[in-house]
Chain A
Amino acid sequence: MTAEIPTLSLVDVDKRFPGVHALKRVSINIMRGEVVGLIGENGAGKSTLMKILSGVYQPDAGEIRIAGQAATFDDAADANRKGIGMVFQEQSLLTNMTVGENIYLGNEAQFTRFGIVDWGRLYAAAERQLAKVQVDVDPRARADTLSFASRQMVELAKALTLEEHAGDHFVILLDEPTSVLERAEIDILFERVRALKSRASFIFVSHRLDEVLELADRIYVMKDGAVVADLNSSEADTTKLHHLMVGRSLQAEYYREPLQRPYRENVVLETENLSLGHAYKNVTFQLHAGEILGIAGVIGSGREELTRTLAGFAPHDSGLLRIDGQSVRLTTPAKAVDLGLGYVPRERRVEGLVLFLPVAANITLADLATFTRNGLINSREERRIAEGWVERLRIKTPTINTLCLNLSGGNQQKVVLAKWLQAKARILILDHPTRGLDVGAKEEVYDLARAVTSEGLAVILTSDTLEETIGLSHRLLVMRDGEITHRTDAAPGHKPSQIDLIGHMV
């Protein structure tokens, strides 16, 4: 193995973003004809690594080598020219164009004479590409008439056009390609990938550990921006992989467990057989004042959509949702806000804050009515309120007139929380509240979560890591395929283990 030159390798690749060391001297090798699995929790650095491989980001230090030769990728198109093909989880076919046009998009020159595209030749070539992945699709069909599974195959066929100009050494990145597929379709995809190993190398990224074990020859495990393990699939099982991904044992202090007070008697929010289309069904739970209710589940488990329903973005279509005993349907965020819900979104910079408005205006955005007299905003009052929150939550900002854009992630998150506390929200929906934050900022968010629940606020929590969900929550719900599969208490000192929950998630 050492004698052979890897098709693609990363050598000591380092990447930093403001406040985050995303990749720490990462080295990986992909040999010819190999399928390499890449796993890790959200925030472990997988997506940064993929973006470096596909040319979207450039490494700060370290080297990319193709067949032993150092290479740089100016952008995604350049990476593609140099032999990196991509199959994404989100559809990357242009739905308004035909399959054949998609396969050769940007590469039509070979079929063009005197500026005129010879469609016959192009479609014939497309047909040959489709034959490689053994999919029965008319190259003249529009992409939006195809099933998701067929589109995935077309993407694979498109990636295989690399053979024409990248020669022997090319790698296809499969980024969560199974998330929209049914089991039978996944089997077909895997079968094709195995058949194509003679032509290409693959990097396979997935949240589903069993699938990675099934398809990959070798697996890299990432954690906190570094590769922590490189093992052959034959030596691994899901438990072992999960241990490697999560790594450390629970630290009670880190999640402020000693501050976890019993929640109160009164139910502030409850659902009964709540359902929404294919997203989730028959969800029943109660949320008490002073409680943090954690929802665990993988992508596609329905917990994301459930969160969006409670925030007012995706109203449920059957079942009951009660807030303070009143049956409601949250058709807009405005309605949810009126009922005392506050949404701390995962897309903090898009939905959490108006980045281009000052700190003060963001803090008061959801509560302007309370200090408007005769239609006019009392700006002295507004300033006083904003300064009060900046002091109470120790928001680090030059002034309250600074644009939120210029704050660090942790302080931005505090502004979002201040907004909801000012609006006297009684139920907070924390949607991946520590995403992208460094350790110190995370701890401050944990402190705040404890502090507000002690005062009687209720919290619904979804998080990037299972560890965080378990550490913070009073009770846990586990979701799989849109349904609650498991409920458990998580009292301090009696927290369930991650392995207990994993079984109900996958």
Chain B
Amino acid sequence: MRIASWAPVIVLLLLCAIISVINPNFLSFGNMVRISQSAMIPLVLGIGATFIIIMGSIDLSVEGVLTLAAVVLSMLVLNGENANDYGLFAVAAVLIVGAGVGFINGLINVRLKVPSFMTTLGTWFIGVGIANALLGGMATRINDPWIRGLAIERFWGFPWGVWVALLCLLIALIIQNYTRLGRHVYALGGGEELAALSGISVARVRIAAFTIAGVFYAVGGILAAAQLGLGNAQIGNGRLFTTITAVVVGGTSLSGGQGSVLQTVVGVLIVVVLSNGMVLMGVPPSVQIGVQGLMIIAAVALSINRKLMKIIK
């Protein structure tokens, strides 16, 4: 790791130090649990987006997949609207839905050569649209105790959802560091032509990465549904923004090739700690979106290697 990639860690530590000086409550166990609860969904989403951004692409479909996943889950598990009660099968179905949307993203990107930001802009709204159509503008209450338990039941003081997010992190680390796919994602970001010259199937890697990202967003949908106790079409609102902020603030470069899942963990913590701190200090949540916007600009501006980029579109 280089010095530059430690900068986010230093920022995080400084942030924690400042907030705990102003409000010592910040360091209490209760607040740590609160932070972990608000970090678990951004973490899972950020992990998925990290793979895409390392590849040099972007994924705007985060909210679409998450909403669709949450709604499908709410309608398949024990719920207040219909007689379904598929339990774990519902979870599996939701993961497949996420993988499916991701797969379609990859397919459109690779086969139709539609740039990823346009592809995923489209599937973002298609996802939310389908979720809306399924619900007809209503919300579905989740009664499944296992799903609700993700948010309520605790293990070692932390909700199960947090442990699920950590499991996702572990899986992502393995994919990133110990599989060919993980390394090829870096190769694509470092230089797609060179990667192709080395015999890497660019199309396959891209489709696989989008698919994996879709699965992680679907997990995010499950956690979001568990946290809210229902599925509705607004459940994804604002999540794309937080996700991209976290990935970028963590130091993963939008131009591709640089960054890691671990850096995204730091990025997520920066975003979550900052908003936690702002809540402790009484700053209204509406200001936080603006602060995140400025953070994105600052982080990207600091991380871009301008010498390498001649034309920015």
Contact = CB atoms under 8 A, between A and B. Distances in A.
B197 interface: yes
Contacts of A95: 190
A94 B187 contact: yes
A107 B174 CA distance: 19
B42 interface: no
A86 B199 CA distance: 13
A117 B180 contact: yes
Interface stretch (A76-84, A173-181, A214-222): A76-84
A105 interface: yes
B243 interface: no
A92 B187 CA distance: 12
A105 B194 CA distance: 10
A101 B194 contact: no
Contacts of A92: 194, 197
B179 A105 contact: no
Contact of B183 (A75, A80, A117): A117
Q: Which of A81, A94, A97, A101 is packed against the most chain B CB atoms within 10 Å?
A: A94
Contacts of B200: 77, 105-106
A138 to B, nearest CB: 15
A286 interface: no
Nearest to A94: B190
B195 interface: yes
Interface stretch (A108-116, A238-246, A383-391, A451-459): A108-116
A97 B197 contact: no
Contacts of B180: 108-109, 112, 115, 117
A77 B183 CA distance: 18
Interface in B174-218: 174, 178-180, 183, 186-187, 189-191, 194-200
Nearest to B178: A116
Contact of A106 (B190, B198, B257, B258): B198
Given A96-B257, A117-B180, A106 B199 contact: yes
A86 B187 CA distance: 18
Interface residues of B, number: 19
Contact of B190 (A75, A77, A97): A97
Contacts of A101: 183, 187
B196 A97 contact: no
Contacts of A112: 179-180
Query: Chain A: interface residue count, which band?
Result: 20 to 34
A76 B178 CA distance: 27
A193 B191 CA distance: 27
B260 to A, nearest CB: 11
Given A96-B186, A96-B190, A97-B187, A117 B195 contact: no
A80 B194 CA distance: 13
Contacts of A97: 183, 186-187, 190
Nearest to A78: B199
A92 B200 CA distance: 14
B129 to A, nearest CB: 34
A94 B179 contact: no
A78 B217 CA distance: 36
Contacts of A115: 179-180
A92 B196 CA distance: 11
B199 A96 contact: no
A108 B184 CA distance: 10
A81 B183 contact: no
Nearest to B308: A95
A76 B179 CA distance: 24
B197 A77 contact: yes
A108 B195 CA distance: 13
A117 B182 CA distance: 10
A117 B187 contact: no
Contacts of A77: 196-200
Interface in A53-84: 75-77, 80-81
Interface string B86-130: 000000000000000000000000000000000000000000000
Interface string A104-132: 01111100100111010000000000000
Contacts of A108: 180, 183
B192 to A, nearest CB: 10
Nearest to A103: B198
Among B191, B196, B197, the most chain A Cβ lie within 10 Å of the Cβ of B197
A112 B175 CA distance: 13
Contacts of A94: 186-187, 190-191, 194-195, 257
25 contacts: A75-B196, A76-B196, A77-B198, A77-B200, A80-B197, A80-B199, A86-B197, A92-B197, A93-B194, A94-B186, A94-B195, A96-B189, A96-B190, A96-B257, A97-B190, A105-B198, A105-B200, A107-B199, A108-B180, A108-B183, A112-B179, A112-B180, A116-B174, A117-B179, A117-B183
Given A80-B197, A94-B257, A115-B179, 8 more contacts: A80-B198, A94-B190, A94-B191, A94-B194, A97-B190, A107-B199, A112-B180, A119-B178
